[in-house]
Amino acid sequence: MVLEFWFERKTAMPDAWQIVLQSFLFVSLAVGATVLLGLQQSNLAFLFFVSLPSIPFLLKVFQSEVEEEEKPDRRKFLGSKTLARHFTALKVLAAYFFGLVIAFTFFYLILPPDYSNALFSMQKAELQNIRGSFQGYAINAVAATDAFELIFTHNLQVLLFVVIFSLIYGAGAVLILVWNASVIGVFLGDFSNAYILSGGAGLSGFTGGHITGVSLGLLGILPHGVFELLSYLTAALAGGVLSAAVIRGDFNKPFFTQIVYDIAKLLGWAILFLAIGAFIETYPALLA
């Protein structure tokens, strides 16, 4: 793996732009492999091919974070030593996710309809069920006062799976991250297509129209989506760091107490981010 080589030859993690390019490469290779092989369950195979090369990358991130715990405390970042120790890893994970979203959106827009429908069928079906949530409104037939609890509970269940998968499989959360990135990519692609069709743009408006459409689509999910993404990334980091520490057998080492403290703090932040995201998402309904 190219990314493994980067980690082996560098003392620091790759730059954010390198991670974005690497994520784009993961999706590009997955598209090519799925289309060329002509697999029957192409959607599942597509997600698998994206996730497979991502696992070594995430494992390297988690292992690097455990090694950070062994070092003396650094200066506080935004008043927190925990954030100072793990801020770089959170940036790397965010860049990885952002790269996936860009790649999924790109291929959803440029692939012929037959290929696009085959690769993104599950995501399109999922969007039919949660499109109301993406627009920032509560689900129909649910009282506005119950919307926050409904959305927060659902997202908390996802958060729990992220932690469990990361803890048991080390980089197991990659499946959830890839899935969420693909759903967002399809959402942005659908919004972009709808914007172009309504505006009557032709091929000459491809670049500007698509960029504008994607930008407006991003604004539709950005307010609450940012906090949900921060929550899932933080939870994945917490579970992955604990898993890496267990594998290394760090139970009896002096810094293990610090690892547990950081993990508890990261999980607390993750739950807080979820609550903020759920509030923002249901805020219009609460005012209605």
**Average predicted confidence (pLDDT) for the chain:** 75
- Per-residue pLDDT band for 230 (boundaries 50, 70, 90) equals confident
Which one is predicted more confidently, 133 or 86?
86
Give residue 263's pLDDT: 87
Which residues, in sequence order, are CB contacts of 22 under 8 Å at separation 6+? 2, 3, 14, 57, 96, 99
C-alpha span between 241 and 260 (Å, rounded): 9
Give residue 204's pLDDT: 40
Give residue 101's pLDDT: 93
Give residue 88's pLDDT: 77
Residues in the chain: 288
Percent pLDDT > 90 in the chain is: 12
Q: What is the mean pLDDT of residues 237-260?
A: 78
Report pLDDT digits (tens) over 44-79. Answer: 889 999 988 888 878 777 777 666 655 656 566 556
- Per-residue pLDDT band for 93 (boundaries 50, 70, 90) equals confident
DSSP 127-193: HHHHHHHHTT-PPTTS-HHHHHHHHHHHHHHHHHHHHHHHHHHSSTTHHHHHHHHHHHHHHHHHHHH
Task: Locate all alpha helices (DSSP H) within 2-41, ordered by sequence.
Answer: 2-9, 16-37
Residue 250, pLDDT > 50, answer: yes
For the ranges 30-39, 84-93, 132-141, 261-270, the lowest mean pLDDT is seen at 132-141
| Residue 198 neighbours by CB distance under 10 Å | 9
Percent pLDDT > 70 in the chain is: 68
Give residue 197's pLDDT: 47
Structure tokens at 217: 């689509």
Q: What is the mean pLDDT of residues 164-187?
A: 81
- Per-residue pLDDT band for 188 (boundaries 50, 70, 90) equals confident
- Per-residue pLDDT band for 279 (boundaries 50, 70, 90) equals confident
Residue 103, pLDDT > 60, answer: yes
Give residue 176's pLDDT: 82
Structural domain boundaries of the chain? Answer: 2-287
